[in-house]
């Protein structure tokens, strides 16, 4: 609340002070509203010292009673309440302090005005001047403090604006980085999809190539098996023909040996020859049986290659055994022939 609005100028304040002084004078006060003048001595005004001291004390008391009065205190309390009700922040508090300093300066100015409005006297004026000087100093200090606080508030506002600008720049940079990351992710996904498609196409082509190669290999294997079967059958037939010719030669040798033994041997040798012939006949029968078995094996060889190979191997082994037996028999026949020759020589000598 403005004190000037409340008191409506200095005239109202002066009127109240004058009224209070008159009231105190009527109650037996020490001084009146008009100082008592003494006789003039050389043009100088003589004032009662006791009255002046009393007037100065009363003026001081009046000045102290005017500032903290029931009319001023509510305004001060209201200003303090308004300042406390304001939202506190690093930017608002300096403004509140400046307003408080301005309010204090206004109160000091009002006190100085009230002091000046008091009845003047040679003893009161120095007090008023001192109060005015104090008020001026307080006002200047308040102005300087308000200027410093205003500068601090402006600096804080600039710092906050710089911080907000930096935050906006960081947010813009983060947004740009997020957009770049999203674009890179999309490119990576597209590259991965293209790579997967290329890999699938290559795998499909490789599968087709492998299938064609497998079919060709299977066909070649079938052809090779057919050729191997034909070659095996031809080889088996050739072996059988060789065995037949070998058996024919063995039979021929047995026949020749039989004729030679029958022509040259004696009765004993004939018996032996008969035994040998029987053995040879048995061997021939065995050979015939073996030939029949070989022919049967040859017949079955066309249907079963493995069985034909086994039979041919067995026939070859049997033929080898027979050839060895025939060789032993040839040796025995040669020995008998030598014995017969020796016996014939002895018979001729006799």
- Tell me the mean pLDDT in the region 59-67: 57
Domain count, the chain: 2
Same domain, residue pair 136 and 20: yes
| Per-residue pLDDT, 132 | 74
Cα–Cα separations (whole angstroms), residue 140 to 34, 95, 102, 133: 36, 17, 10, 10
From CA 127, how far away is CA 105, in angstroms rounded?
18
Same domain, residue pair 25 and 114: yes
Residue 216 lies in a domain: no
From CA 294, how far away is CA 290, in angstroms rounded?
6
Share of the chain above pLDDT 90, in %: 0
Residue with tokens 């935050």: 167
- Tell me the mean pLDDT in the region 190-201: 80
Nearest to 59 by CA among 121, 129, 11: 121
Domain of residue 7, residue span = 3-36+47-174
Residue 164 lies in a domain: yes
| Per-residue pLDDT, 41 | 45
Same domain, residue pair 164 and 27: yes
From CA 149, how far away is CA 145, in angstroms rounded?
6
Contact 52, 122 (CB under 8 A): yes
pLDDT in tens, 284-322: 777 777 777 776 766 665 556 655 566 666 666 676 667
Rg of the chain over all Cα atoms, to the nearest angstrom = 77
- Tell me the mean pLDDT in the region 114-137: 66
Contact 63, 115 (CB under 8 A): yes
Residue 116 lies in a domain: yes
Q: Helices marked H in 265-304 — which ranges?
A: 267-301
pLDDT in tens, 2-57: 444 444 444 444 445 555 555 555 555 444 444 444 444 444 444 444 555 566 56
From CA 178, how far away is CA 170, in angstroms rounded?
12
Residue 66 pLDDT more than 60?
no
- Tell me the mean pLDDT in the region 56-62: 63
- CB within 8 A of 252, min separation 6: which ones? none
From CA 240, how far away is CA 311, in angstroms rounded?
10
pTM of the model: 0.25
- Tell me the mean pLDDT in the region 160-179: 84
| Per-residue pLDDT, 122 | 60
**Higher-confidence residue: 56 or 129?**
129
Residue 90 pLDDT more than 60?
no
**Higher-confidence residue: 284 or 70?**
284
Residue 93 pLDDT more than 80?
no
Residue 204 lies in a domain: no
Same domain, residue pair 275 and 150: no
Same domain, residue pair 148 and 256: no
Burial of 296 (0-12, 13-18, 19+ CB in 10 A): exposed
Phi-psi region of 179 (alpha: psi -120 to 50; beta: other; left: phi over 0): alpha
Buried b (16+ CB within 10 A) or exposed e, 25-34: eeeeeebeee
Residue 342 lies in a domain: yes
Residue 200 lies in a domain: no
Q: Helices marked H in the chain — which ranges?
A: 3-7, 10-26, 49-66, 73-85, 93-117, 124-264, 267-301, 305-349
Share of the chain above pLDDT 70, in %: 50
Contact 123, 48 (CB under 8 A): no
From CA 304, how far away is CA 308, in angstroms rounded?
6
Residue 229 lies in a domain: no
Final residue before a domain boundary, out of 174, 200, 233? 174
Residue 96 is encoded by which pair of tokens? 């509140």
From CA 248, how far away is CA 258, in angstroms rounded?
15
Contact 123, 52 (CB under 8 A): yes
Same domain, residue pair 166 and 257: no
| Per-residue pLDDT, 9 | 44
**Higher-confidence residue: 261 or 88?**
261
Residue 57 lies in a domain: yes
pLDDT in tens, 270-289: 666 677 777 777 777 777 77
Residue 41 is encoded by which pair of tokens? 């001595």
Final residue before a domain boundary, out of 123, 140, 174? 174
Residue with tokens 């200027």: 147
Max avg pLDDT among 162-171, 188-197, 216-225, 229-238: 162-171
């Amino acid at each position: 609340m403005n004190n000037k609005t409340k008191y409506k100028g200095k005239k109202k304040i002066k009127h109240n002070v004058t009224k209070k002084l008159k009231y105190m004078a009527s109650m037996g006060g020490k001084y009146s509203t008009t100082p008592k003048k003494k006789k003039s001595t050389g043009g100088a005004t003589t004032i009662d010292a006791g009255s002046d001291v009393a007037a100065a004390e009363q003026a001081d008391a009046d000045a102290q009673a005017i500032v903290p009065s029931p009319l001023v205190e509510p305004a001060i309390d209201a200003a303090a309440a308004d300042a406390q009700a304001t939202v506190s922040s690093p930017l608002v508090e300096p403004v509140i302090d400046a307003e408080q300093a301005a309010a204090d300066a206004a109160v000091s100015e009002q006190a100085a005005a009230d002091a000046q409005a008091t009845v003047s006297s040679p003893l009161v004026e120095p007090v008023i001047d001192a109060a005015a000087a104090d008020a001026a100093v307080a006002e200047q200090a308040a102005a300087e403090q308000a200027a410093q606080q205003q500068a601090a508030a402006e600096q804080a506002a600039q710092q906050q604006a710089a911080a907000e600008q930096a935050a906006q720049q960081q947010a813009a940079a983060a947004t740009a980085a997020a957009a770049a990351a999203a674009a890179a992710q999309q490119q990576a996904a597209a590259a991965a999809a293209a790579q997967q498609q290329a890999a699938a196409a290559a795998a499909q082509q490789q599968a087709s190539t492998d299938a064609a190669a497998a079919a060709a290999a299977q066909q070649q294997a079938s052809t090779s098996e057919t050729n191997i079967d034909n070659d095996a059958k031809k080889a088996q037939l050739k072996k059988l023909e060789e065995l037949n010719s070998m058996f024919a030669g063995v039979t021929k040798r047995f026949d020749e040996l039989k004729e030679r033994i029958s022509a040259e041997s004696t009765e004993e040798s004939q018996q032996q020859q008969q035994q040998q012939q029987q053995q040879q006949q048995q061997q021939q029968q065995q050979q015939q049986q073996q030939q029949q078995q070989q022919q049967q094996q040859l017949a079955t060889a066309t249907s079963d290659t493995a069985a034909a190979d086994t039979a041919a191997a067995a026939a070859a082994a049997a033929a080898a055994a027979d050839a060895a037996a025939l060789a032993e028999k040839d040796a025995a026949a040669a020995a008998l022939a030598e014995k017969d020759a020796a016996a014939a020589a002895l018979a001729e000598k006799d």
